Amino acid sequence: MSAKPAAAQQLARKLDDRSATVGVIGLGYVGLPLALQFEASGLRVLGFDIDATKIERLRAGQSYINYLPAATIAAAVGRRLQVTSDFDRLGEPDALIVCVPTPLNRHREPDLGYVTRTADQIARHLRAGQLVSLESTTYPGTTDEELRPRLERTGLTVGEDVFLVFSPERQDPGNTRYGPHNIPKIVGGCTPACLELGQRLYGLAVSQVVPVSSPKVAELAKLLENIHRAVNIGLVNEMKIVADRMGIDIFEVIDAAATKPFGFVPYYPGPGLGGHCIPIDPFYLTWKAREYGVHTRFIELAGEINRGMPLWVLHKLAEALNNVGKAIRGARVLIIGIAYKKDVDDLRESPALELLDLLEERGAHVDYHDPHIPHIPPIRRGRYDHRSIPLTAQAVGASDLVLIATNHSAVDYDLIARHAALIIDTRGQYRGGHPNVVHA
């Protein structure tokens, strides 16, 4: 038997007897939970990240993600999880899982720089018998067009010497019901051998693996999932504007419609889209679709509506202040929740940050309270020196307006209702006709 088929057989044996080492590249909101899941499943895990501070904290058993307990990390590090910023060790793991960002550039086009640079680093250390899995959300064709050529320039053949799959991440940060262990894992391989090994790998740690015929199918499936959410959120945001003009509570409308036992899924409006997926992923498809002469009008319209929501909230806020004889300029505004989503400490693409910018540009004095984000770190939007202030009756009462941007569970909303002169509620936190609440 030739040496080439033996690479697949050897890797299969290592996966089956759990002697394989799994490498996870990128220890953020996707990679770290996945690394912990593989370690908890009994495998040796080597985690890679360019951020030396993250590595130091993990080695010390500390967590930098609020819903991942430090005790869980400390236990994993004490057993089978190693972490490093030394990418010269990429040749050690038998499987390498890539969980790096795929943002948009300033022209709102896909930026695959993190993916391609990671692929180049892998290629420098690639050896026969390794499996590479890309989990970063991207456009259809990335695995075949960007990763495969980089791996095969080493002289190793994908499907014979090394193996390549796409398996999209499906994390829902802060979700206590679904996590890496019980969210079904889609896997598409470049060859049948790649697919088989990808299934074996993820089958060690995930309750259900869903094979598909190619990486392109898996890539497009991930985009469809997130575009489905983006389009429906765009629809309900537009419905919110219509309902507002008609004097109807959109949240009461949604709750009533949700009693239908079939054919309706409730989505809820907000001040805009945030996070690493929903505001970004649709543009990966619209960009790639143009290569095929397709103009994705429906998707782009939803994106336009969602991107316009912070300005709509600002309009409602200005109108509410005007009704009590005040202007945005000089107003003291307290934003409740700066994270993009309830009960997480993630600021990526947060519409609350955009609202903060819009208010300060117009002369407002802005503070924020967020129990999960004590200060705003430097991010690509610019630099902020804001720190979360304590939520007290005095702080609320001293504000001209309180803006509910993210409705964290740990916030005392009764205290706000008792002491706020005016509340702008973008999340439907207050129902039932509070006299000082304006829904936006």
Q: Calculate the dihedral angle through the C-alpha atoms of 373, 376, 377, 383, rounding to the nearest 10 degrees.
A: 170
Are 271 and 306 in contact, with CB atoms under 8 Å apart? no
Rounded to whole angstroms, the Cα distance separating 295 from 82 reads 46
Neighbours of 261 (CB within 10 A): 6
Q: What is the full per-residue pLDDT of the chain (440 aa) written as tens digits?
A: 344 568 999 999 999 999 999 999 999 999 999 999 999 999 999 999 999 999 999 999 999 999 999 999 999 999 999 999 999 999 999 999 999 999 988 888 899 999 999 999 999 999 999 999 999 999 999 999 999 999 999 999 999 999 999 999 998 888 888 988 999 999 999 999 999 999 999 999 999 999 999 999 999 999 999 999 999 999 999 999 999 999 999 999 999 999 999 999 999 999 998 887 888 889 899 999 999 999 999 999 999 999 999 999 999 999 999 999 999 999 999 999 999 999 999 998 899 999 999 999 999 999 999 999 999 987 655 567 899 999 999 999 999 999 999 999 999 999 999 999 999 999 999 987 778 999 99
User: CA angle at residue 390 from 386 to 394, to 5 degrees?
Assistant: 115
pLDDT for 37-75, tens place per residue? 999 999 999 999 999 999 999 999 999 999 999 999 999
234-439 CATH, one of 3.40.50.720, 3.40.50.1000, 3.40.50.1860, 3.40.50.300: 3.40.50.720
Q: What is the chain's percent helix, strand, coil content, to nearest 5?
A: 40, 15, 45
Residue written as token pair 């790998």: 201
Instruction: Give the residue extent of every domain in the chain.
Output: 3-213, 234-439
- Residues annotated as catalytic are 277
What is the C-alpha R_g of the chain? 24
**Contact indicator for 231, 299 with CB cutoff of 8 Å:** yes
Identify which of 349, 335, 344 has the alpha carbon closest to the alpha carbon of residue 372. Answer: 344
Q: Give CATH for domain 3-213.
A: 3.40.50.720
- Domain 3-213 shares a fold with domain 234-439: yes
Each residue of 318-338: pLDDT tens digit?
A: 999 999 999 999 999 999 999
Tokens 């796409």, residue?
166
Q: How far apart are CA 184 and CA 207, in angstroms?
A: 7
Are the CB atoms for 226 and 285 separated by under 8 Å?
A: no
Q: 26: phi > 0 → left, psi -120 to 50 → alpha, else beta; which?
A: left
